């Protein structure tokens, strides 16, 4: 396993854990989104400043703005789910969100590569079947 794969595994673990804690916080979706954003900012800022924070002026700010806009909508939607979900169904809703997220990333990859292979079509079908089986 290379360094990037290890970081992907760790990101998956951490992105899998934080929503389970937030679900038990007792905060509503909008407030939990603000608290999470503030906490993440304070947690990330020292690392960002230490590791080339001076590249900010050369960033593609259109892409940054789009990422922030869609990230904010996703965070608000996701935290509303976490605030409203019971302990029994939070996992199911989390799985649904992740299945859709995987489909979006796979669609992006297929679009960027310029073709949709038979393997990818099979993957989409398998994802749909997995979502169906996991959500029923």
> Domain boundary residue among 84, 101, 118?
84
Q: Provide the number of structural domains found in the chain.
A: 2
Same domain, 15 and 79: yes
Same domain, 58 and 115: no
Same domain, 64 and 5: yes
Same domain, 113 and 74: no
Count of CB atoms situated within 10 Å of the CB of 130: 13
Same domain, 74 and 13: yes
Q: Are 74 and 66 in contact (CB under 8 A)?
A: no
Same domain, 92 and 103: yes
Q: Are 131 and 96 in contact (CB under 8 A)?
A: yes
Render pLDDT for 84-119 as a digit per residue (tens, 0 to 9). Answer: 998 888 888 888 888 889 888 888 888 898 888 888
- Name the residue range of residue 124's domain: 87-136
Same domain, 37 and 67: yes
Same domain, 68 and 96: no
* pTM for this entry: 0.81
Q: What is the pLDDT along the chain (136 residues), one digit of tens a residue?
A: 899 999 999 999 999 999 999 999 999 999 999 999 999 999 999 988 888 666 777 889 999 999 999 999 999 999 999 999 988 888 888 888 888 898 888 888 888 988 888 888 888 888 888 888 877 8
């Amino acid at each position: 396993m290379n360094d990037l794969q290890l970081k992907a595994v760790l990101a998956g673990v951490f992105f899998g854990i934080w929503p389970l804690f937030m679900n038990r916080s007792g905060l509503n979706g909008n407030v939990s989104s603000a608290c999470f954003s503030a906490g993440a900012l304070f947690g990330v800022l020292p690392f960002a400043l230490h590791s080339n924070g001076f590249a900010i002026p050369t960033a593609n700010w259109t892409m940054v703005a789009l990422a922030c806009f869609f990230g904010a909508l996703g965070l608000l939607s996701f935290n509303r789910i976490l605030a409203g979900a019971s302990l029994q169904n939070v996992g199911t809703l989390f799985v649904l969100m992740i299945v859709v997220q995987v489909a979006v990333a796979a669609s992006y990859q297929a679009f960027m590569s310029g073709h949709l292979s038979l393997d990818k079509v099979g993957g989409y079908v398998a994802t749909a079947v997995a979502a169906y089986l996991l959500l029923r």
